[in-house]
Amino acid sequence: MRSASMAWTRQECSIFSDKTAKDAGRITMTELAAPRSSRGPSVTFLPDGTTHIVDLHVPLPTSISAAAANMIRLRNSLPDPTNGLTAPIEIERKFYDEAQAILEVQLLEMYAVSVESVTVGGVPGRLVTPRDPAPGTHGQLLVNLHGGAFKLGARSIAEAVPIAARTGLPVLAVDYRLAPEHSYPAAVDDTVAVYRALLETRAAKDIAIYGSSAGAVLAAQAVVRARQLALPLPAAIGFFSGTADFNRTGDTEALFGVIGLAPRVTAVLEQARGYLADAHLSDPVLSPIHANLDGFPPTLCMSGTRDFFLSGTCNFHRALLCADVDARLVVFDAMPHVHWTKYPELLETTEALDIQARFLTEHLSS
């Protein structure tokens, strides 16, 4: 913790600055008068700051596991199933649910847990309970918010099973309402309803909330909303590969699609359009980076260098540090978006899940 004399102010943290890249056009520099090339002919810098890359080859790093390297080669060889177009939601859900079902079978073979359907606070979910519970943890509970761009992943337990087994704690996987049928703030309302109901039977210090991708976003949104409602905040948050700012795009949202980095993915705002609907993008609940983050729970942020949400994750981490929050950041070399939810066989997945589990448990009732 910093002393009062060392404390940053919101104005001193560049992540909060109103003068973002949108204002770059006001800066007059002779060297920006015309496009210019870098040392090689493949990169052109445009006057507005855009970098135009004609031909870029990024070799696989030698710092990752052999299995991870093979995974990246396979990912990059797969065709785009939508041929560059956004598939109808029914098709997206069909493919996603089929992949999740296969993954769920694999995870339930790997980990000794039981799964039951439950309803908490009027919201359906699935309770994943380890068969070997950790001693002395009665009443402690983890809440998982699944990913899926706010429109996919119904009833998913892919993120809950490994963490339940590692921590020895029950994990409640919340089956929040999905877009586009239910836009913002439906998912936030569902999450807060679950959290409020849990507070009737246990203390906030016995609850930690975590999620990946949309689930990470939702975890942060729910905490901001809980604070607005004067609810006690959970013991810890796992913010794994998300964004806390829908109002501003991050650098990696463009870089992730560069040749050799990652397959094409629809732009973030396009993916979340059904969820965002007509919401104001600077709404402090929708975009928690615009909220008062003082007193935010200890937060673990996690991403990979080939993750389109790397910028979003890092920016939220910086914002939390500026608010004097106990925030930690772990970034995996060459890993794509939420690799720990898709590739259970990787050493990098084992490491990521171990770090997540250790962080969440060390803050419960601490």
Q: What is the CA radius of gyration of the chain?
A: 21
Task: Establish if 195 belongs to a structural domain.
Answer: yes
The span from the CA of 167 to the CA of 177, in Å, is: 27
Contact predicate 173/160, CB 8 Å: yes
- pLDDT at 245 (0 to 100): 96
Contact predicate 234/306, CB 8 Å: no
Domain range holding 168?
88-363
The span from the CA of 210 to the CA of 240, in Å, is: 8
Contact predicate 269/246, CB 8 Å: yes
DSSP state of 49: S
The whole-model pTM stands at 0.87
- pLDDT at 24 (0 to 100): 44
Structure token digits, residue 119: 């309803």
DSSP state of 189: H
The span from the CA of 158 to the CA of 272, in Å, is: 21
> If we measure between CA atoms, which residue out of 163, 157, 185, 299 comes closest to residue 242?
299
The span from the CA of 121 to the CA of 189, in Å, is: 10
DSSP state of 336: E
In angstroms, the first-to-last Cα distance of the chain is 17
Instruction: Walk along the chain (366 residues) and give the pLDDT tens digit of each residue.
Output: 444 444 555 555 655 555 544 444 443 333 334 444 444 447 787 888 777 777 767 788 899 999 999 998 887 777 655 444 468 899 999 999 999 999 999 999 999 999 999 999 999 999 999 999 999 999 999 999 999 999 999 999 999 999 999 999 999 999 999 999 999 999 999 999 999 999 999 999 999 999 999 999 999 999 999 999 999 999 999 999 999 999 988 888 878 765 555 555 667 777 889 999 999 999 999 999 999 999 999 999 999 999 999 999 999 999 999 999 999 999 999 999 999 999 999 999 999 999 999 999 999 976
Contact predicate 243/316, CB 8 Å: yes
Cα dihedral sign, 215-220-225-230: positive
SS (H, E, C) 310-332: HHHHHHHHHHHHHCCCCEEEEEE
- Residue 114: HSE in the Cβ half-sphere, 13 Å Cα cutoff: 6
Contact predicate 100/92, CB 8 Å: no
Q: Please report, to the nearest 10 degrees, the dihedral formed by the alpha carbons of residues 276, 279, 282, 288 taken in order.
A: -60
CATH number at residue 112: 3.40.50.1820
Task: Establish if 57 belongs to a structural domain.
Answer: no
- pLDDT at 8 (0 to 100): 52
Task: Establish if 52 belongs to a structural domain.
Answer: no
- pLDDT at 289 (0 to 100): 98
Structure token digits, residue 272: 């979340």
> If we measure between CA atoms, which residue out of 150, 310, 311 comes closest to residue 221?
150
Task: Establish if 74 belongs to a structural domain.
Answer: no
14 by DSSP, 3-state: which?
helix
- pLDDT at 29 (0 to 100): 38
User: How many separate domains does the chain show?
Assistant: 1
The span from the CA of 329 to the CA of 323, in Å, is: 15
Residue 157 pairs with which residues in a beta bridge?
none
Task: Establish if 26 belongs to a structural domain.
Answer: no
Task: Establish if 35 belongs to a structural domain.
Answer: no
Could you tell me which residues come within 8 angstroms of residue 233 by beta carbon, excluding any fewer than 6 positions away? 204, 223, 226, 227, 295, 296, 297
Task: Establish if 263 belongs to a structural domain.
Answer: yes
DSSP state of 19: -
* One-letter amino acid of 125: G
- Helical H segments across 62-117, by residue range: 66-77, 89-110
Query: How far, rounded to the nearest angstrom, does the alpha carbon of residue 129 sit from its chain's CA centroid?
Result: 24
Task: Establish if 248 belongs to a structural domain.
Answer: yes
The span from the CA of 163 to the CA of 47, in Å, is: 47
Query: How far, rounded to the nearest angstrom, does the alpha carbon of residue 157 sit from its chain's CA centroid?
Result: 16
